[in-house]
């Protein structure tokens, strides 16, 4: 079958696939625990019966029963050597079933995880799938189906294996757990990656029922250039009285067909738990179902394995991080030379946290074999962040090595009009479905005028179209030269950007910092030029995202050019701040008073507010008594009423702590003003217990409430606790334990307290404790940090009244 015939088939009708084979064959007697494919090959009549039932039910395409017949999976049954024969035989059985239906050679997961999730190298997987493909081809399949894939990288490996051995159409369906695949790919990322790589149809199968698949298909449809497929389970399998039951009978299952088709499905079938009856029911109604067409989004779309990015002049500006290019960066050069991939990963993280949504990756260091290092850098970046990448290299071998293992859709940076590069790189971009940056340079050099650049852009695009590229697959580089050597350089670039945006309708990019090369105060030039370019419709820029000012201008520019609709992103980012910044969100410093600052947990505002109080003549002890104490009591009250939750309680405590750090030295200037402490507490996490964050919270809150706290830390020996309590004449020993195995230390401490005759009370808390346990050895139990403080206050009050 040709790809053209395949497309025609899906254009004219809803294509009916088959249903579950495994559960059907189990019903026909296939025992559990055996190699299903080997069993089927030994029971051809039963397999044929299963296929025939689907043909009778109305399937247009049936799948060979070769789901796990790849050498890696067959190795579990020591059958790797029989890969070719098993696949050939099972494909032949399907082929013999009927000449009226199409037979798809079925490929699925090798059962082991590929790098980076597991140990199977990408090429090992490709070669394994190739063994299977050869057998299926020999068995006479019409097309291929790659199904039930959980990792996009494994789906890519299988797809590349098929593409490198034949030109038959390929359907690829992945399995989604909720909104993503198991390894974290969303539906659009799956679609974009696979259709770019050459899948002829994409979709989902297994794991979920039809209702959940409606949402997945809806997400894919606006980006789909290929038919979409859905093969749901008959609900989720569950054990009921020792029987495995699938919830959906055939009638109910088929009732979702219309919703799936309206969502955008072109091919329907079933997976686990579905039977020929389920397929027959769909067939009964499919004449009433017509494929829908949905207007495709006009955006360029690239993706990593976990995130897709849309590029268009009407969408928020795309910042591409430039910091993984070693030119002029000594530390990065050394990291590349030493293959220090953790350093590379850190730079990637730093850029995305600063606001880059894509990253340029360049391994061009003299003496480095780019073919080895570029893929390693790509792997490190992909593991660290979800931002899609640009492969910045002119070495075709390095680019191919990186494109091959990149588990998404990358951008090649760049392809120019130079004949040799064009000839080598366009087929590469086509094979791996990459976008590319079109660099308007040719064998005659770098043209100065916009018109000359435009001519090259047209020439390169003409060539690219021969390989199937459309304008949405290209970013045109406006080609920024420094204004220090050519006063018209920026103007010519802006003309190119404007023409691309208004006339040619293609996305654009620039290498921003080039414009200011050789000039002082480069940031002003860069910022001004960026805003001018954005106003001319620039889509993306390769730039330094760590420059906070530029990123802020980008956000503001998006609002002013209506690319940030209703300023949603801007408001989300800057709400609550008066001064823009891309650091961790900060509170606005408005007319807030000290009381509110404590309640809001705004510790940054506290020093200035305290200073103002002191300047106005308020005594430090009055600030504490009249403002801070009521404020922290209010925080506690809000926490007790659950209006506040734990982070807010602690933020309040942190704000108070900062205030006290300023006031205490002031008070200490006059000894008679030093307030009496509420009580003395020795606090520790017990021996063997290494969790101390809960204990730290209690310690902070106790200090907040005027206690003198001696914090011994975590995993503390009981003797040290007792010795410290005795030496400091403690009122309370506060103990924390998280685990059942460590809480037994608490009664021991109590025994030692009694033995020593110490007058202190024991306060205990921790996730596994309860009041009964505390009562059992005479301790006082606090269910959470704040109730611990209140209990401590009560214990001190009782002690004082007893005295």
For other proteins, the binding residues in 504-563 under the rule CB under 8 A are none
Binding mask 320-359 for other proteins (x = CB under 8 A): -----------------------------x---x------
For other proteins, the binding residues in 47-66 under the rule CB under 8 A are 53
Binding mask 678-707 for other proteins (x = CB under 8 A): ---------xxxxx-x--xx--x-------
d(CA 103, CA 114): 28
Of 536 and 745, CB closest to other proteins? 745
In angstroms, give the least distance from the CB of 217 to other proteins: 19
For other proteins, the binding residues in 700-759 under the rule CB under 8 A are 700, 738-742
In angstroms, give the least distance from the CB of 382 to other proteins: 9
Positive/negative CA dihedral, 79, 80, 84, 90: positive
Of 97 and 509, CB closest to other proteins? 97
Which of 92, 275, 393, 547 binds other proteins (CB under 8 A)? It is 275
In angstroms, give the least distance from the CB of 22 to other proteins: 5
Which of 51, 89, 286, 306 binds other proteins (CB under 8 A)? It is 306
CB 404 within 8 A of CB 122: yes
In angstroms, give the least distance from the CB of 281 to other proteins: 11
Torsion of CA 561, 562, 564, 566, to 10 degrees: 140
CB 365 within 8 A of CB 395: no
d(CA 482, CA 500): 21
Of 4 and 572, CB closest to other proteins? 572
In angstroms, give the least distance from the CB of 703 to other proteins: 12
Which of 5, 123, 179, 622 binds other proteins (CB under 8 A)? It is 179
Residue from 439, 437, 303 nearest 358 by CA: 303
Of 776 and 783, CB closest to other proteins? 783
Structure tokens at 714: 């975590």
For other proteins, the binding residues in 127-156 under the rule CB under 8 A are 148, 150
Q: How many CA atoms, within 13 angstroms, populate the side-chain half-sphere of residue 633?
A: 9
Of 483 and 683, CB closest to other proteins? 683
Which of 177, 443, 625, 775 binds other proteins (CB under 8 A)? It is 177
Size of the site for other proteins (CB under 8 A): 96
For other proteins, the binding residues in 636-675 under the rule CB under 8 A are 641-648, 650-651, 653-654, 657-658
For other proteins, the binding residues in 372-411 under the rule CB under 8 A are 383-385
Residue from 287, 317, 138, 294 nearest 227 by CA: 294
Residue 590 makes contact with other proteins by CB under 8 A: no
Residue from 272, 157, 174, 286 nearest 219 by CA: 174
In angstroms, give the least distance from the CB of 598 to other proteins: 13
d(CA 558, CA 214): 33
Of 378 and 697, CB closest to other proteins? 697
In angstroms, give the least distance from the CB of 665 to other proteins: 17
In angstroms, give the least distance from the CB of 406 to other proteins: 15
d(CA 480, CA 37): 59
Query: Residue 782: which residues within 8 A CB-CB, separation 6 or more?
Result: 698, 763, 764, 765, 788, 791
Residue from 354, 224, 302, 326 nearest 540 by CA: 302
First-to-last alpha carbon distance for the chain, in angstroms, is 96
Of 448 and 784, CB closest to other proteins? 784
In angstroms, give the least distance from the CB of 99 to other proteins: 25
Which of 45, 239, 487, 579 binds other proteins (CB under 8 A)? It is 239
Positive/negative CA dihedral, 512, 513, 519, 520: positive
Of 576 and 778, CB closest to other proteins? 576
Estimate the crossing angle of helix 341-354 against helix 330-337, to 10 degrees.
140
The residue behind tokens 């955006």 is 299
For other proteins, the binding residues in 68-127 under the rule CB under 8 A are 68, 109, 111-113, 116-119
Of 243 and 616, CB closest to other proteins? 243
For other proteins, the binding residues in 471-490 under the rule CB under 8 A are none
In angstroms, give the least distance from the CB of 71 to other proteins: 16
Estimate the crossing angle of helix 152-163 against helix 122-138, to 10 degrees.
50
d(CA 420, CA 416): 9
Which of 45, 100, 240, 671 binds other proteins (CB under 8 A)? It is 240
Cross-strand partners of 667? none
Residue 234 makes contact with other proteins by CB under 8 A: yes
> Running DSSP on this structure, what letter comes out for residue 110?
-
Of 519 and 693, CB closest to other proteins? 693
Which of 66, 87, 97, 175 binds other proteins (CB under 8 A)? It is 175
Q: How many CB atoms lie within 10 A of CB 458?
A: 12
d(CA 692, CA 563): 47
Of 23 and 257, CB closest to other proteins? 23
Residue 272 makes contact with other proteins by CB under 8 A: yes
CB 421 within 8 A of CB 394: yes
The residue behind tokens 């050019």 is 561
Structure tokens at 715: 């995993």
d(CA 608, CA 589): 10
Which of 1, 75, 182, 556 binds other proteins (CB under 8 A)? It is 182
Of 89 and 306, CB closest to other proteins? 306
Of 504 and 587, CB closest to other proteins? 587
Structure tokens at 232: 């749901």
In angstroms, give the least distance from the CB of 231 to other proteins: 14
Of 627 and 685, CB closest to other proteins? 685
Positive/negative CA dihedral, 50, 55, 56, 58: positive
| H/E run at residue 186 | none
Residue 572 makes contact with other proteins by CB under 8 A: yes
Residue 677 makes contact with other proteins by CB under 8 A: no
Which of 44, 58, 140, 184 binds other proteins (CB under 8 A)? It is 184
Which of 8, 12, 27, 225 binds other proteins (CB under 8 A)? It is 27
Of 39 and 504, CB closest to other proteins? 39
Of 226 and 402, CB closest to other proteins? 402
Binding mask 594-613 for other proteins (x = CB under 8 A): -------x------------
Coil/strand/helix, residue 437: strand
Cross-strand partners of 228? 202
Piece in contact with other proteins (CB under 8 A), picked from 470-478, 576-584, 606-614, 666-674: 576-584
Cis peptide before 558 (omega within 30 of 0): no
Of 73 and 404, CB closest to other proteins? 73
Which of 155, 206, 489, 635 binds other proteins (CB under 8 A)? It is 206
> Running DSSP on this structure, what letter comes out for residue 742?
T
Piece in contact with other proteins (CB under 8 A), picked from 139-147, 528-536, 554-562, 584-592: 584-592
CB 203 within 8 A of CB 267: yes
Q: How many CB atoms lie within 10 A of CB 480?
A: 26
Instruction: Please work out, in degrees rounded to the nearest 5, the angle formed at the alpha carbon of residue 444 by the alpha carbons of 443 and 445.
Output: 90
Structure tokens at 345: 């990963």
In angstroms, give the least distance from the CB of 15 to other proteins: 24
């Amino acid at each position: 079958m040709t790809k053209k015939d395949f497309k025609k088939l899906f254009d004219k009708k809803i294509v009916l696939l088959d249903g579950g084979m495994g559960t059907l064959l189990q019903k026909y007697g296939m025992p559990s625990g055996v190699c299903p494919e080997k069993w089927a090959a030994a029971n051809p009549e039963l397999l044929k019966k299963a296929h025939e039932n689907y043909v009778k039910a109305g399937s247009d395409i049936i799948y060979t029963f070769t789901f796990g017949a790849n050498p890696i999976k067959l190795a579990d049954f020591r059958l790797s050597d029989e890969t070719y024969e098993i696949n050939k035989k099972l494909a032949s059985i399907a082929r013999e079933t009927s000449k009226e239906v199409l037979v798809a050679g079925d490929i699925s997961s090798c059962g082991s995880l590929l790098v980076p999730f597991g140990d199977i190298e990408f090429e090992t997987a490709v070669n394994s799938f190739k063994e299977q493909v050869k057998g299926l081809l020999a068995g006479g399949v019409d097309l291929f189906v790659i199904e039930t894939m959980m990792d996009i990288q494994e789906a890519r490996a299988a797809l590349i294996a098929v593409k490198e051995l034949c030109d038959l159409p390929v359907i690829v369906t992945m399995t989604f757990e909720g909104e993503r695949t198991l390894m974290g790919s969303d539906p659009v990322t799956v679609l974009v990656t696979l259709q770019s790589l050459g899948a002829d149809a994409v979709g989902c199968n297994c794991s979920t029922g039809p209702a959940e698949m409606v949402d997945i298909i809806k997400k894919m449809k606006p980006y789909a250039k290929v038919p979409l497929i859905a093969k749901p389970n008959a609900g989720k399998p569950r054990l009921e009285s020792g029987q495995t039951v699938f919830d959906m009978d055939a009638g109910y299952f088929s009732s979702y067909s219309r919703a799936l088709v309206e969502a955008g499905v072109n091919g329907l079938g079933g997976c686990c738990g579905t039977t020929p009856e389920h397929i027959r029911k769909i067939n009964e109604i499919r004449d009433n179902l017509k494929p829908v067409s949905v207007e495709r989004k006009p955006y360029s779309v690239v993706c990593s394995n976990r995130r897709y990015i849309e590029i268009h002049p009407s969408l928020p500006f795309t910042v591409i991080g430039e910091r993984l290019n070693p030119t002029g960066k000594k530390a990065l050069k050394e990291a590349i030379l030493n293959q220090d991939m953790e350093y590379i990963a850190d730079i990637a993280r730093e850029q995305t946290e600063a606001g880059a949504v894509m990253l340029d990756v360049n391994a061009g260091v003299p003496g480095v074999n780019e073919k080895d290092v570029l893929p390693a850098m790509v792997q490190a970046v992909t593991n660290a962040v979800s931002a899609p990448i640009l492969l910045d290299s002119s070495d075709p071998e390095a680019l191919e090595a990186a494109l091959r293992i990149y588990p998404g859709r990358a951008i090649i940076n760049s392809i120019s009009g130079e004949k040799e590069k064009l000839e080598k790189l366009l087929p590469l971009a086509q094979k791996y479905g990459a976008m590319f940056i079109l660099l308007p340079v040719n064998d005659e050099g770098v043209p100065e005028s916009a018109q000359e650049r435009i001519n090259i852009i047209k020439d390169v695009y003409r060539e690219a179209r021969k390989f199937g590229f459309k304008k949405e697959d290209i970013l045109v580089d406006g080609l920024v030269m420094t204004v220090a050597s050519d006063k018209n350089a920026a103007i010519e670039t802006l003309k190119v950007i404007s023409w691309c945006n208004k006339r040619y309708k293609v996305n654009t990019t620039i290498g921003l910092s080039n414009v200011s090369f050789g000039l002082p105060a480069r940031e002003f030039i860069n910022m001004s030029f960026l805003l001018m370019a954005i106003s001319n419709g620039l889509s993306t820029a390769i730039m330094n995202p760590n420059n906070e000012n530029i990123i802020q201008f980008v956000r503001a520019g998006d609002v002013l050019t209506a690319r940030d609709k209703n300023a949603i992103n801007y408001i989300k980012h800057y709400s609550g701040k008066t001064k823009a910044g891309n650091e961790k969100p900060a509170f606005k410093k408005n007319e807030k008073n000290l009381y509110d600052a404590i309640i809001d947990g705004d510790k940054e505002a506290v020093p200035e507010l305290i200073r103002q109080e002191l300047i106005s003549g308020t005594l430090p002890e009055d600030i504490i008594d009249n403002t801070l104490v009521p404020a922290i009591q209010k925080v506690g009250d809000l926490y007790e009423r659950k209006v506040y939750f734990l982070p807010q309680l602690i933020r309040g405590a942190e704000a108070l702590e900062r205030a006290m750090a300023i006031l205490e030295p002031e008070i200490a200037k006059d000894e008679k003003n030093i307030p009496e402490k509420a009580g003395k507490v020795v606090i520790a996490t017990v021996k063997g217990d290494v969790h101390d964050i809960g204990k730290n919270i209690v310690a902070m809150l106790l200090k907040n409430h005027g206690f003198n706290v001696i914090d011994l830390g975590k995993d503390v020996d009981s003797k040290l606790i007792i010795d410290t309590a005795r030496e400091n004449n403690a009122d309370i020993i506060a103990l924390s334990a998280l685990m059942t195995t460590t809480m037994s230390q608490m009664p021991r401490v109590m025994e030692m307290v009694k033995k020593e005759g110490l007058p202190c009370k024991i306060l205990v808390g921790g996730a596994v404790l309860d009041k009964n346990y505390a009562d059992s050895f005479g301790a006082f139990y606090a269910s959470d940090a704040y109730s611990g403080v209140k209990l401590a206050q009560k214990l001190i009050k009782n002690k004082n009244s007893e005295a």
